[in-house]
A and B are shown apart, each in its own frame.
Chain A
Amino acid sequence: MSESQSESSFKIEAKNIDVFYGEKQVLKDVNMPIEGNTVTALIGPSGCGKSTFLRLFNRMNDYIDVFHKKGEILIDGKDIYRKKTNVEELRKSVGMVFQKPNPFPKSIYDNIAYGLRIQGINKKSLLDEIVEKSIRQAALWDEVKDNLKKSALALSGGQQQRLCIARTLAVEPSVILMDEPASALDPISTAKIEELIQELKEQYTILIVTHNMQQAGRISDKTGFFYMGDLVEFDETQQIFTNPKNERTENYISGRFG
């Protein structure tokens, strides 16, 4: 097995994934190979299983008592559900950004430094360096550099979301999961987040759940359409939005059911 794993050219691979909440099966034999430094959009109507699928990659579903799964989730060729996986370490390398910005009620600086301090990084110069680098990467630096002591809660929604992205970047993940990161933002903030996602792709592998079809079209390389627990179609985004192979995909993306 170990030989075949190292041969895989994929950053992430979901293999034969079944997920159950108790008796109810919410994902059915899902297979999705994902290349590194790409953006993959997960779309589908509410309850189709796309968020459950996203949360497999940082083991967020583990908190749900009735959750159990079959199949493998490989990141860099290793199954993240094997026994010896350190879940804390996994969540450092697989960051997550949520629908609603959720900064800590602390200063901008401390929001970023928090995770680093937990890791035992306390040297001020190093903290300063990482805080600046992360905020710059999240395209927020020019807007906050003069007042890093300001409460994060005083920022606008769009700025808060970019701060949350900066906080994720500070611990140097290689994969970023985003669950509708722009759905609570105005069009200008949304455009900034989308531009940021395009830049982050150079260094990270990004999976994003979105209900905004145009957003999926604008930012993603590949799109997976989920419906009632099935991955109905997974292909190049351009293909999905110009000539999908499956009629259900076409009906969904053109707004005929939802």
Chain B
Amino acid sequence: MNIEEEVQQLKEAIMDMAELTISQMKKAKDAYLANDSELAQEIIHNEKRVNAIELSIDRDCENIFALLNPVASDLRFVISALKINSDLERIGDYADGIADYVVDLTEKLDPSLVKETKIEEMFNIAISMLGDIAIALKEDNVKLARKVYQKDSELNKININASKIITEYINNNPKTVRQSLFMFSVIRKIERTGDHIKNIAEDLIFYVEAKVLRHKKMKK
């Protein structure tokens, strides 16, 4: 085993994981908005692959720690890879969870609710954050990684407004409680997706710059 090769392979595995997660989240968006249960089934099926890659990356990290004693930037990379891996897996879980709702929900979404909650915009922001972070990971690009912070605050804004909008909608349309609650959950999942992407950005910055950003308040 050679540390340089192993680190490179680990990086490629993380990239694969990121690609798969992006594809899962894109499909989750399409399946949810179009109430396409066939596509949802595909997501649920692919979730097994996400989990398998996660386990394989964990194992690779463990082997590198045990056999190659990584130090300095290698060490920071392997630590970051472990954490990024787990964040990506969680994002995969959210896509899977959204797919479950699609399978459960038989009625069509009310287009006015979709429009007012801005859920499609949320999906788009989260997917574009995932795209940014994937490129940032590939290029060790901390500037691009930092871009996700701004996009994440947009997600948070939409999330906060959505709870008001949905409460009002339920009051006016008591027969659609089920789809409203599901939508509220989906919005929460997208909001959490943003948080995990932010974690990934922090880990990338730690790896590249050896700075710990977590638990520090970001300056406005």
- Closest residue of chain A to B70 (Cβ to Cβ) is A254
Residues on B with C-beta less than 8 A from A255 are 3
Nearest CB of A to B19, in Å: 28
**Assembly CA distance A214 to B4 (angstroms):** 18
Number of A-B pairs, beta carbon distance below 8 Å = 30
Nearest CB of B to A256, in Å: 7
Nearest CB of B to A61, in Å: 31
**Assembly CA distance A199 to B9 (angstroms):** 42
**Assembly CA distance A243 to B73 (angstroms):** 7
Interface SS of chain A: helix
**Residues 1-39 of B at the A interface (beta carbon under 8 Å):** 3-4
Q: Does A250 count as interface, using CB distance less than 8 angstroms?
A: yes
Q: Does B177 count as interface, using CB distance less than 8 angstroms?
A: no
**Assembly CA distance A213 to B71 (angstroms):** 10
Residues on B with C-beta less than 8 A from A256 are 3-4
Question: Which of B3, B4, B71 is packed against the most chain A CB atoms within 10 Å?
Answer: B71
Which one, A213, A214, A242, A253, contacts B76 given CB within 8 A?
Answer: A242
B210 and A254 contacting across the interface, CB-CB below 8 Å: no
**Residues 4-31 of A at the B interface (beta carbon under 8 Å):** none
A244 and B3 contacting across the interface, CB-CB below 8 Å: no
**Assembly CA distance A254 to B6 (angstroms):** 13
B75 and A242 contacting across the interface, CB-CB below 8 Å: yes
Q: Does B72 count as interface, using CB distance less than 8 angstroms?
A: yes
**Assembly CA distance A243 to B208 (angstroms):** 10
A244 and B69 contacting across the interface, CB-CB below 8 Å: no
**Assembly CA distance A37 to B82 (angstroms):** 38
Q: Does B74 count as interface, using CB distance less than 8 angstroms?
A: yes
B3 and A241 contacting across the interface, CB-CB below 8 Å: no
Nearest CB of A to B75, in Å: 7
B72 and A244 contacting across the interface, CB-CB below 8 Å: yes
Nearest CB of B to A240, in Å: 8
Nearest CB of B to A124, in Å: 50
Which one, A213, A214, A217, A250, contacts B73 given CB within 8 A?
Answer: A250
A242 and B4 contacting across the interface, CB-CB below 8 Å: no
Nearest CB of B to A4, in Å: 37
Nearest CB of B to A30, in Å: 23
Which one, B4, B69, B72, contacts A250 given CB within 8 A?
Answer: B72
**Assembly CA distance A254 to B210 (angstroms):** 16
A253 and B4 contacting across the interface, CB-CB below 8 Å: no
A213-B69, A213-B71 as given contacts; A254 in contact with B3, CB under 8 Å: yes
Residues on B with C-beta less than 8 A from A217 are 71
Nearest CB of B to A163, in Å: 31
Nearest CB of B to A98, in Å: 26
Residues on A with C-beta less than 8 A from B72 are 241-244, 250, 253-254
A214-B69, A243-B210 as given contacts; A254 in contact with B74, CB under 8 Å: yes
Question: Which of B70, B75, B76 is packed against the most chain A CB atoms within 10 Å?
Answer: B75
**Residues 213-258 of A at the B interface (beta carbon under 8 Å):** 213-214, 217, 241-244, 250, 253-256
A242 and B69 contacting across the interface, CB-CB below 8 Å: no
Residues on A with C-beta less than 8 A from B76 are 242-243
The interface bits of chain A over 102-120 (1 if a CB of B lies within 8 angstroms of the residue's CB, else 0) are 0000000000000000000
Residues on A with C-beta less than 8 A from B74 are 254
**Assembly CA distance A250 to B7 (angstroms):** 15
**Assembly CA distance A241 to B76 (angstroms):** 11
In the complex, 22 of the A-B residue pairs with CB atoms within 8 angstroms, ordered by the A residue number, are: A213-B69, A217-B71, A241-B71, A241-B75, A242-B71, A242-B72, A242-B75, A242-B76, A242-B210, A243-B72, A243-B76, A250-B72, A250-B73, A253-B71, A253-B72, A254-B3, A254-B70, A254-B71, A254-B72, A254-B73, A254-B74, A256-B3
Known: A242-B210, A256-B3. 19 other contacts (CB 8 A): A213-B69, A213-B71, A217-B71, A241-B71, A241-B72, A241-B75, A242-B72, A242-B75, A243-B72, A243-B76, A243-B210, A244-B72, A253-B71, A254-B3, A254-B70, A254-B71, A254-B72, A254-B73, A254-B74
